[in-house]
Amino acid sequence: MTKLLLNLEVAKLAADDYVGFTFFVGCMAMMAASAFFFLSMSSFDKKWRTSILVSGLITFIAAVHYWYMRDYWASFAESPVFFRYVDWVLTVPLMCVEFYLILKVAGAKKSLMWRLIFLSVVMLVTGYLGEAVDRDNAWLWGLVSGIAYFVIVYDIWFGQAKKLAVAAGGEVLAAHKTLCWFVLVGWAIYPIGYMAGTPGWYEPIFGGFDLDIVYNIGDAINKIGFGLVVYNLAVLASKKSEA
């Protein structure tokens, strides 16, 4: 009976619980961003609606996971590694889909999308193995994950995706470039969180950071920021086709 009552209570959030705080704010921010993307959808040209829908799905999936992660942290004061990676393995491939969707105007093929999705899944599965399954070899899994990450960076900055962006030109090229910066700089936040939260030679350098705070900041920047870049592209491109 006591247990049941406890489960129904709202968990306390201590004033100095910065991890709990970032989970809470992250959850709200993802919800707000989802409402924003979904409600704005109908104001765009048909061909941009799927891109905006995907932006909203990314923040919505994150909002649901943040709801659980916030609760998990409040209940156990432990890193919600499992929920974290389930969130990522759903949302990061959707970010790869965004690249494909905006480059479709220049004739992007599905093979480009699947290649990026495959690389992102390799990056995340190896990250999970290092963080949750085989922590003694975290540096090795992190390295493999990092290689997959660099191939993604290379592909979008210099590979086929770049060529398509150049062919599309205009605001598509500009949006592609901004998304490339998100992947190069924004996504580089995650390996810092990983090194802060797993054992390895890098501990003395990154040990002072908290894995969850770093990941939560990274998610807010990347998921909402990514979505806004696509939103901005849709605004500019829809305006143009009206004129």
Q: Under the criterion CB under 6 A, does residue 30 sit at the interface with ligand RET?
A: no
Q: Count the helix, strand and coil residues of the chain and give each as a percent rounded to the nearest 5.
A: 85, 0, 15
Please state, in angstroms and rounded to a whole number, the distance separating the CA atoms of residues 86 and 117.
15
Decide: 192 and 214 in contact? Cβ < 8 Å: yes
By CB under 6 A, the count of residues binding ligand RET is: 17
CB of 29: closest distance to ligand RET in angstroms? 12
Print the binding letters for residues 166-205 with ligand RET: x by CB under 6 A, - otherwise.
---------------------x--xx--x-----------
Site for ligand RET contains 127 (CB under 6 A): yes
Contact between 142 and 195 (Cβ < 8 Å)? yes
Evaluated on CA atoms 28, 31, 35, 36, the torsion sign reads positive
- Closest contact distance (angstroms) between CB of 151 and ligand RET is 11
Would you call 239 helix, strand, or coil by DSSP? helix
* Between 20 and 142, CB nearer to ligand RET: 142
Q: Does 91 bind ligand RET (CB under 6 A)?
A: yes
Smallest separation (angstroms) from ligand RET to the CB of 63: 12
- Given a contact cutoff of 8 angstroms between Cβ atoms, the answer to whether 78 and 35 are in contact is no
> Rounded to an integer, what distance in angstroms lies between the CA atom of residue 212 and that of residue 80?
9
d(CA 47, CA 136): 48
Identified binder of ligand RET from the candidate list 98, 155, 212, 219, rule CB under 6 A: 219
Q: Considering the complex, state which of residue 19 and residue 123 has its C-beta at the smaller distance from ligand RET.
A: 123
Binding site for ligand RET (CB under 6 A): 88, 91-92, 123-124, 127, 142, 145-146, 149, 187, 190-191, 194, 219, 222-223
